[in-house]
Chains A and B, each alone.
Chain A
Amino acid sequence: MAKILIPTPLRQFTAKQNSVTVPGATVGEVLTALTTEYPDLRKQIFNDEGKLRSFVNVYLNDEDIRYLGKDATPAADTDTLSLVPSIAGGTPGGTN
């Protein structure tokens, strides 16, 4: 039963809860359980192919799961998962 911290704009899909606890032995299982219990979250996190959207990073405590075991990373009851977006930008050559 890992804890998942819900980003502010996504709390409308989790009955306004800022964190939820769902079952799962791995990060992949936890994310599946999360979007099964709160199906409106699925579109926010996964694309049509069922893969994490390009801007979504998943952290297990303070570590990006890409540098751990990705979806297969074990998730314990004491672990906290966070959904953190990738954000960047800029202007073409600094001109309008």
Chain B
Amino acid sequence: MKKPKLLWLQSITCNGNAHSFFNHPELFSILSHFELLYHPLLDTEYILEEVIKTQLACDVLILEGSFREKGMLKGGVELSTVVEVYAQKAKHIITAGTCATFGGVFKEADPKNITGFAFDIKEKTKRHELYFSKLISLPGCPIHPKWLSFVLLMLAKEKDIVLDDMFRPQELYGITVHTGCSRNEYFEWKVDTKGFGLKEGCLFYEQGCQGPHTRGSCNKILWNDASSKTIVGTPCFGCTEPDFPKTALYMTQTNMGIPTTMPLGVPKRAYLTATGIAKSFKIKRFEERIIKYDG
């Protein structure tokens, strides 16, 4: 079987998704399923000067970074025109990272003109209509290397990837970051953590954790195969969501003590009822340290 031709193009980016992917323990094994035409940070078959001539064939196009229609030059050529040609040729377009998907951090520099490839935050861009049948969104800041390898290997094996209405693979984004968090018992009983980095307590009530309303599998597919932000005791920043980045990240936004954003899909009335009841009990185990060090 002929290997699919893979092209990785960068727009306005910090390289974060590329570097994250490089941390994949099976990086070269995964890439071996493809003919890697070009990657800006790897020694590949072609160089940028050849890519921008837009003569190469392309099956899988990976896009990294936010977009602007004009003023983003690569090798003296307007990048948006290069991307347009390869997007038409490709069978699959993967937007890797929140910048390429929704606009992300770099959108902040020029909110009017900088967008994601097919979305401007939640709004569809003109490219949405042109390419919706081939889009796969992988938001994240950065993406987990195994989110990308999941998609690449599924494509290499010509398997269908079930996507949601924003083209995110449901396997990866059908759950919230809260799923699998080691602090779930504390969430259930509404016990907040007493500080960052502690093993005990939930970060949702005071410390700004966005895990319960952020789509992602950070606590199912662990980072470095070992941990996650919420497990080590720092809040989820909601980096996979269209409205990332947000501000005041280390503080839960509340109205009279009630979190302004509810866990995904949970009506406020249901949440408040359950919370009021759970908070009425003091569970000794959740008030104590997990490990009691001497002295």
Q: Bound pair: A and B?
A: no
Interface residues of B (CB under 8 A from A): none
Question: Which residue numbers of A lie inside 8 Å of B, CB to CB?
Answer: none
